Amino acid sequence: MPKSIGILTSGGDCPGLNAAIRGVGKAAHSKFNMRVIGFRDGFRGLMENRTMTLDPAALSGILTVGGTILGTSRDKPQKMQIGGKEIDATDAIIATYEKHHLDALVCLGGGGTQKNALHLKQQGLNIITLPKTIDNDIFNTDVCFGFDTALGIATEAIDRLHSTAHSHHRIVVVEIMGHRAGWMALGAGVAGGADVILIPEIPYRVEKIAEAIRERSRGGSPFSIVAVAEGAVSKSDADALQVIEQRKAKASSKTDKKQAKAALAKWEQGHSGNTWRLAKQLEEMTGLESRVTILGYVQRGGTPSAADRLLATRLGTACADLINDGVFGVMVASRGQGTAPVPLGQVAGRRKTVPLDHGWIKAARLVGTTLGD
């Protein structure tokens, strides 16, 4: 009897999801004669048994389409919002899995999806995942699909902002996605020739940035491009966050945990709007007019790049191959031009941040880019 597999996409959308769905589905159909169904809107659709058939006709023409034909959501199996209440939908999800006589469930998503997939694997389901996120921060894979496209969009934005910054002698502060990892801000900043790059891994001092901008002005360049990751923090904010996280880690009683959680929420609320505050500070300290551009969700949209289509197709077809071989409980990771199955326990709950000795950081410093430290 042919194997049956289900596919869902979870978390934020990004370019390359459809290419990955196509890669899994086409290989499963044409090479291994498997039956493939998709679940709509992530784990919520899996719980509610909302499906679509992923036959060759449904997979045709989606390689170049952005987003996901399955829809997506950020719902968690064990923390599903139903009727204003949070419930554990794990049993309902297992029931749907068994109703369709699935041999495997493929989950396409980022860090949260990897944790949710591990949870279902621990409940006895045959799970396999693919790494997608524009932040490129999933642990144990060389690269995630979606990153290359978003990197190109952010780089083009910086390219375009150079002309207006130069014409009006302004500081242009460009906020780029990356809450806990600075891969995209760093990559786009280097590729786009930003004068300042700020990432979460390197806490910055505003005085250092202002001095570098003033030095540029004295040297005949009265404008600057500042590429800042949304999660970049000042040295003082980073120190305060470290104290809160240490307190949270040591918390043992419910009261201590609640207080630590509240302190973290207050810190995050205070960090909101950080890019605007930074621009105002730089304007006051340098005497140059500052403008802010927040790229936001435009970084997630549009047609996937050739590199992302290739990567998603490689990972998707490798996924079908692993299912045929009976390999489950893994993420299909990118390794050079190949792939490798990595146990979900070695992925979930971990984050790939930019190493301080990474080549991109070294290159940025050597061309005179200021990193705020």
pLDDT digits (tens, 9 = 90+) for 206-223: 999 999 999 999 999 989
| Residue 163 vs residue 369, higher pLDDT | 369
Q: Describe the strand order of the beta sheet including 35-39 as a list of residue ranges.
A: 51-53, 35-39, 4-9, 104-109, 127-131, 330-335, 338-343
* Contact by Cβ (8 Å): 180, 301: no
Q: Is the pLDDT of residue 333 over 80?
A: yes
Given 13, 41, 75, 135, the catalytic residue: 135
Rounded average pLDDT over 240-257 = 84
Three-state DSSP class for residue 86: strand
Residue 1 has pLDDT above 80, yes or no: no
- CA–CA gap between residue 262 and residue 211 (Å, rounded): 36
Do 42 and 105 touch, CB atoms closer than 8 A? no
CA distances (Å), 242 to each of 100, 259, 264, 338, in order?
47, 15, 10, 38
Hey, where are the domains in the chain? 4-145+304-346, 152-300
Mean pLDDT of the chain: 94
Give CA–CA dist 99/72, Å, rounded.
22
Q: Which two tokens stand for residue 187?
A: 């990559």
Check for a shared fold between 4-145+304-346 and 152-300.
yes
CATH 2.40.40.20, domain 4-145+304-346, yes or no: no
Candidate from 28-32, 272-276, 339-343, 366-370 with smallest mean pLDDT: 272-276
Structure pTM?
A: 0.93
pLDDT digits (tens, 9 = 90+) for 138-191: 999 999 999 999 999 999 999 999 988 888 889 999 999 998 999 999 999 999
**Among this protein's residues, is 325 annotated catalytic?**
no
Question: What is the Cα–Cα distance from 45 to 51, expressed in whole angstroms?
Answer: 7
Q: Which CATH class is domain 152-300?
A: alpha beta
Q: What is the pLDDT of residue 72?
A: 95
Residue range 290-310: mean pLDDT, rounded: 94
